[in-house]
Structure 1
């Protein structure tokens, strides 16, 4: 759910006791008891029998369509292309990359030197073969990355997930020897966070047994675990509360030897309480609760503010969206009277997005009216922050691919709807870039253009959106159009190059629209906060206004207009499906939240109360009932025939929402397609073939609904 993805489809953008959810939902006499609680038994025999029957029924139509096989083959060719960009991870001068293809279904971790990486054919060396490991362990492992010791970064914890779940198994691995460490650290399956203190010590938050998980299903007890010590003898050093989202520890380092251990309580999804580890135990730091620590540079803690902040004893209020620094040694002496130094201040159009640390510099990306920008900040001899702008072309998104605090090298990735993604090697000391690798064109864009337009929402707010279309379309309402958005959790949606979208939709005559609705972070924290909790209808009005604007311009019509979204974007699709069924002829609802009166007890739902509100608050409960797609389904309404997609192994949002929504449609004799695959977690599939099939099924559906 949380996410940092720019694609509207399937963000890798997220339990109160079941009895509480069920009783609370039934207490209002205007609502009917929930008939489909039995589908909340995720792997139960009855539930899975229903899932298998619905899968089979839908596959007989969609996968039997002769276009499905062609689309699946085309998508797989794009996803497995040997020329796609090998995303770099800089680790002390070497480049690591995780790669999947036809020969490596579950993937390999491989490495090469910087010099070799910059050549057309790098000399890769396999470090971990996840297919071989899965076969050896008889487990369907999905790799979830490395968590490495600093400095040196040779000892790492390899994260392995069974089928793509958020719950992971961690095993110690030595990058120098290329082997798992015999007798090394092993942490059994759990939702867990781990940070290295030194080569023989970890700080671990995980399921320690009864009473150690929050209502969201995440750990809130942090323990210190020494090498060779039985796990059950680890010593507790920090504790949140059961009502928190989670609690964990992090370790900050910089190239000049400064080091700090921080403990964090996630009070809710957006607010956190931070404590500094001291000889006398953790001491709370008076940073604003809506802020994010980005790292440590030159003894300065880098902090992004998501709310206005007037520090204790200060007469100055720092605006939300600012990036500031705090002197670590000053914080050690006084955790209350903090004296931040401004690094970046937002404008009415430009807002910070990502911040990352190199050896001597801070790298910052921003959005300037949804245009990507990048800067290098440096702390000069007078302890002031200066900046240099990095030259990035307009109409491209920019993301930080990787930095390495042992050097000033970094990689940026630039991308656009029609511009193949490029990796640029940067030097933070000079704020310069040079081309490293560019993805070859994956579809014919010669007759396509991108334009940025805007719609006016119900309350008068201007909502920008991007359109990718053929340059010579007819404005007669006949163009098949697919529109997506996310609209939550301060996630910014920006242009991205997608070979699958290009081959399976744009090249075949479709239009693609991406709406920058409220709830996202495109215009800073305030753009997000405008749609929080009981204000959320603004988000749904924004989306509908873009759809109406497309029709008013005669770019498309309700007959030819389809919408797509995943996770929180799946909730958006469900709301638009129930509130404006007449506006769309196709609705793709992916890994969604849909039962908003019950979401708090489903999977990790309780962690998102900060975004959606809670049924324990009467006003918020009333609003949730008014927008909850599951509860708003009406047997007397004519709905478009949706495609609902989820995965059994999604332990973040869970498959329950999708199942119950489909079951109620079935009860009301409303047509729908349903697809629930087993693996994949909160995503489109655990491997490239599964992902290709998922996308092919969705574009087969969209073809039938919008192009035929």
Structure 2
């Protein structure tokens, strides 16, 4: 029987836990934190905490950089600077083992001076590279305060640009003009809490007087924009984000036959686009037939932008996906288009070059297997012909991350290597497949010692996400390797539907009324791990965060017999009220609208908060959240634990005060979260 929609909360006995800073709610949180600490914090927890913090604070980590002008910029956190340093160096210096860093902004010193717990949230250099717009987040929230910063004097600009705290996007148009989208007031905000207006703000005038140049409807998700300052290709692009997947896109070019006009691109609403120079690159999420040509979902097609705006539709299809080969992203360079691909969830890079004979794809050789390989432009924003240098980042489960610089002519130049954080002796990586209920093969990676040998079932963690077209790919397991794999335990990562590992169709297979498919796929992987003898239900735990928290919450309520423990981080769990809480309104395209009866009819079938019931033999669960998470409301985690404890279930809870959705404002908070999770697994599946 379909239940009435409880989105208004009238029948919710734990609605008071949604009051983030409510006195009663905070007292409940404090009591729960004390209870969890009493259960999990011991000498083993402390050893794990120290081990993780040592990894995160290590001086020999890679200082990842982005290039702007003549400098490489980096943000760095360590034991002496827990909130971090924004700094820069030159490429010549960066090539050294110990680069000479010029510290621009010390966030810990700023916090001490101002008495505010700021976290660095990025910086955008001005066109002349003398100033920057520095974004500061309070304890890791998505909402930011933006201040203009003078790089030469290493100080904030008196009477410079300042944007008060809000969910904000900002970019330089020129040295005295900004484009700003900021949800400062209800009129400036969508129902999802993002900006609905884009304003042109001129130096020396108040933000309130800035001219509105683009606006979307209140029920839309957001108004986004991009500024292209590349010489000869200057222009603006605006997105009317109708929901999380659909957008209407508009362009304004400074040069060419359509200069000064704002024109809507006549494209499908579910599409990715790029227009860095003279070409328009598109990748539709569903097959798009235009004239006699069908551009396949997940493919890549190219056309001259000016010709397209004039009505031409003679696209060149330059990449076609296959059932196992999917496009993840691309980068336009002087040498051609660098494609970032997944081939059966293994990273590949290819170069597309245009000639008189047409486009030709050439795989870039010498790259490893069972790895994730990404490519990004390394500077070049001032180059009319696009940048020359491309930065490769390569990482694998047991392969410490490395970076290399490629100029399109010679072999990539190795720049930096991460340290080895755990002993890889005997650790193997296997790609296996489970079979879903509908017969679809679901790949997963299994990592552990001596997998090819017959061993007794071992404690195993199964990790997943399954949403928003996010792909789970190999990455160096610095923490899990040290705390888990070294002890002979196993770790599995499931590439379930809802992700993007096999292109848009893999995502579309688990969305809205088919969202449960991702959860069913995950359960199929759990069964395969047990049936193959890797583990048993009592030795198997699952872990996921955010949308992955919803995933593992459904493992608790729908598949409790498959697991011995559940580790659930910053989760969505109340699918009746998720649209009422913080950014939840923006995810309706992924999950559905609980206030539409037909959609609540399927939503309630994967809403863990509503599925939890008495008389069930639920495995122990640890649910963690963050009070400053302004993306996924901490009320989800709080209410679920309260409900489970009411039912007499073994549920444990931890809430940190700082960190935001990622929990990454300082390394000690990350170390605490990881050590607590592994302590929980030791007490449950790895006794």
Q: Which bin holds the TM-score, normalised by the shorter protein?
A: over 0.9
Distance in 2 (alpha carbons) for counterparts of 1:264 and 1:606: 18
* Counterpart mapping for 1:101-500 below 5 A: 101-150=78-127, 152-254=128-230, 257-277=232-252, 282-297=262-277, 299-311=278-290, 314-334=291-311, 338-359=313-334, 361-380=336-355, 382=356, 384-391=358-365, 392-400=367-375, 402-405=377-380, 406=383, 407-427=387-407, 429-430=408-409, 432-471=411-450, 475=454, 478-500=457-479
Distance in 2 (alpha carbons) for counterparts of 1:344 and 1:185: 43
Compare 111-120 and 696-705 and name the one that shifted more.
111-120
Partner residue, 1:14: none
CA contact (8 A) 2:137 2:144 kept: yes
CA offsets 1:320-360 (integer angstroms, 9 cap, x no match):
111222323224445xx544332322122211112223355
Distance in 2 (alpha carbons) for counterparts of 1:539 and 1:148: 41
Structure 1 moving runs of 4+ over 4 Å: 278-281, 472-477
Partner residue, 2:656: 677
SS at match of 1:513: strand
CA contact (8 A) 1:263 1:282 kept: no
Partner residue, 1:639: 618
Distance in 1 (alpha carbons) for counterparts of 2:245 and 2:340: 21
SS at match of 2:187: coil
Partner residue, 1:565: 544
Q: CA deviation at 1:176?
A: 4.7
Distance in 1 (alpha carbons) for counterparts of 2:458 and 2:129: 52
Q: CA deviation at 1:179?
A: 3.3
SS at match of 2:217: coil
* Counterpart mapping for 1:468-617 below 5 A: 468-471=447-450, 475=454, 478-617=457-596
CA contact (8 A) 1:350 1:523 kept: yes
CA contact (8 A) 1:26 1:34 kept: no
SS at match of 1:211: helix
Partner residue, 2:256: none
CA contact (8 A) 1:361 1:408 kept: no
Distance in 2 (alpha carbons) for counterparts of 1:510 and 1:434: 36
Distance in 2 (alpha carbons) for counterparts of 1:568 and 1:26: 19
Distance in 2 (alpha carbons) for counterparts of 1:431 and 1:532: 44
Distance in 2 (alpha carbons) for counterparts of 1:431 and 1:630: 56
Residues 400 and 153 (structure 1), Cα distance of their counterparts in 2 relative to 1, 3 Å cut: farther
CA offsets 1:33-92 (integer angstroms, 9 cap, x no match):
1111111111111111111111111111111x2211111001111111111111121112
Distance in 1 (alpha carbons) for counterparts of 2:106 and 2:146: 16
Residues 137 and 315 (structure 1), Cα distance of their counterparts in 2 relative to 1, 3 Å cut: same
SS at match of 2:548: helix
Partner residue, 1:698: 677
Distance in 2 (alpha carbons) for counterparts of 1:127 and 1:285: 41
Distance in 2 (alpha carbons) for counterparts of 1:325 and 1:60: 59
CA contact (8 A) 1:89 1:401 kept: no
**Structure 2 unaligned residues grouped into runs of 5+:** 254-258
CA offsets 1:88-129 (integer angstroms, 9 cap, x no match):
211124211111000111001111111211121111111211
SS at match of 2:582: coil
Compare 534-543 and 170-179 and name the one that shifted more.
170-179
SS at match of 1:376: strand
Distance in 2 (alpha carbons) for counterparts of 1:537 and 1:609: 15
**Structure 1 unaligned residues grouped into runs of 5+:** 1-21
Partner residue, 1:16: none
Partner residue, 1:7: none
Q: CA deviation at 1:383?
A: 9.5
Partner residue, 1:83: 60
CA offsets 1:198-226 (integer angstroms, 9 cap, x no match):
11111111124232211111111111111
CA contact (8 A) 2:333 2:388 kept: yes
CA contact (8 A) 2:200 2:212 kept: yes
SS at match of 2:446: strand
Compare 551-560 and 615-624 and name the one that shifted more.
615-624
Check if 1:25 corresponds to 2:2. Answer: no
Q: Please, what TM-score do these two structures have when normalized by structure 1?
A: 0.92
Check if 1:57 corresponds to 2:31. Answer: no
Q: Please, what TM-score do these two structures have when normalized by structure 2?
A: 0.94
Q: CA deviation at 1:684?
A: 2.9
Q: CA deviation at 1:618?
A: 2.6
CA offsets 1:435-475 (integer angstroms, 9 cap, x no match):
21111211001111000010000110000000001116775
SS at match of 1:325: strand
* Residue correspondences, number: 674
CA contact (8 A) 2:49 2:671 kept: yes
Distance in 2 (alpha carbons) for counterparts of 1:385 and 1:476: 51
Compare 430-439 and 520-529 and name the one that shifted more.
430-439
CA offsets 1:170-218 (integer angstroms, 9 cap, x no match):
1112335543333221111000111222111111111242322111111
CA contact (8 A) 1:244 1:268 kept: yes
Residues 544 and 224 (structure 1), Cα distance of their counterparts in 2 relative to 1, 3 Å cut: same
